[in-house]
Amino acid sequence: MIDTLKFTLNRKPLQLKVDGERRLLWVLRSDLGLTGTKYGCGEGICGACTVLINQKASRSCQIPVKDIQGKEIITIEGLAENGRLHPIQKAFIDRDALQCGFCTPGMILNAYSLLLEKPRPTDAEIIRAMNDNLCRSGAHVRIIQAIQTAAQGMRGGRKR
């Protein structure tokens, strides 16, 4: 069934006619060209498809697009503002917290959600929060360092 959905995507209001049963991941990637949201497992296990829905990290491969009616969606393309990288994006680059980069958009958005909830996370809290975002390149130690660096940056000013 075709639904008319209204929501905010990367801070811009959007109206879309779409089959509401389709997964948000495929609407973002195929219909809207936002390919920073990655397809990994398609089963809610890897975290590659993570986006923010009302500021919470969410697995877009598991969400029927009809469920985003009236909500605020942020993808990795929407995190930088006015040409300035978000502190988490900058920290991942500065700390070299990636190798192939496939998992990185999901990692960054999950870290964002964590740092909104816990501005001063311990390493153990970061490990627990990031446990279900899989990285096959073994960058975990640098990812934890990057999130700690980003936490300092976000406490010092820019949150969103």
Site residues, ligand FES (CB under 6 A): 39-42, 44-49, 59, 61
- Smallest distance, ligand FES to C-beta of residue 109, A: 12
Q: Find, among 32, 29, 13, 19, the residue nearest to 71 by Cα.
A: 13
Helices and strands in the chain: count of H runs, count of E runs: 5, 5
- The residue (of 40 and 87) whose beta carbon lies closer to ligand FES is 40
Nearer to ligand FES, 91 or 139 (CB): 139
Q: Which helix (H) or strand (E) holds 89?
A: helix 87-94
- Could you tell me the smallest distance in angstroms from the CB atom of residue 48 to ligand FES? 5
Two tokens at 92? 């991942």
- The span from the first CA to the last CA of the chain, in angstroms, equals 35
Nearer to ligand FES, 71 or 90 (CB): 71
Residues with Cβ within 8 Å of residue 94, at least 6 apart in sequence: 146, 149
Q: How far is the CB of 20 from ligand FES (least distance, A)?
A: 19
Q: How far apart are CA 153 and CA 28, in angstroms?
A: 29
Closest separation in Å from C-beta 44 to ligand FES = 5
Q: Is the CB of 130 or the CB of 154 nearer to ligand FES? A: 130
